């Protein structure tokens, strides 16, 4: 079981390093990233009781693209444009805030 934990930890470290690296000269940016005009981020926390460790704060975050979408307003019965979250990506962390911030 320990081998899987170490392997998972190494993979997560690689992902984090790639996400935090600076862009390189001459590399064409990903068109999906360029297309995203407006993005949003939300964060929250909850206290969880970890066996034999006590209460700790579990931090949860979500990053998403905000795009306008036409929806029917039930109160007035008309079609209105409303901001909607798309392409949600979630992050969790049990521990200090600094690593959570880097993950976000």
Say if 65 falls within a structural domain: yes
Distances (CA, A) of 13 to 8, 49, 97, 98: 9, 26, 17, 14
Say if 10 falls within a structural domain: no
What is the count of structural domains for the chain?
1
CA 65, CA 76: separation in Å to the nearest integer? 27
Is 86:64 a contact under the CB 8 Å cutoff?
A: yes
CA 78, CA 101: separation in Å to the nearest integer? 41
Task: Please check the confidence at residue 92 and state whether its pLDDT lies above 60.
Answer: yes
Say if 17 falls within a structural domain: no
Query: Which pLDDT score is estimated for 29?
Result: 66
- Tens of pLDDT along 18-75? 877 777 777 776 666 555 478 899 999 999 999 999 999 999 999 999 988 998 888 9
Say if 20 falls within a structural domain: no
Say if 11 falls within a structural domain: no
Say if 5 falls within a structural domain: no
Say if 52 falls within a structural domain: yes
Q: For residues 79 and 27, which has the higher predicted lDDT (pLDDT)? A: 79
- Tens of pLDDT along 36-48? 478 899 999 999 9
- The parent domain of residue 44 ranges over 30-103
Say if 8 falls within a structural domain: no
């Amino acid at each position: 079981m320990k081998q899987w934990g170490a392997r998972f930890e190494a993979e997560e470290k690689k992902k984090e390093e790639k996400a935090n690296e600076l862009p390189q000269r001459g590399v064409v940016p990903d068109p999906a990233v360029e297309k995203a005009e407006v993005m949003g981020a939300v964060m929250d926390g909850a206290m969880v009781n970890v066996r034999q460790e006590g209460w700790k704060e579990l931090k949860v975050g979500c990053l998403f693209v905000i795009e306008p979408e036409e929806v029917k307003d039930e109160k007035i019965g008309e079609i209105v444009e409303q901001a909607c979250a798309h392409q949600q990506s979630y992050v969790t962390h049990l521990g200090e805030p600094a690593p959570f911030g880097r993950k976000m």
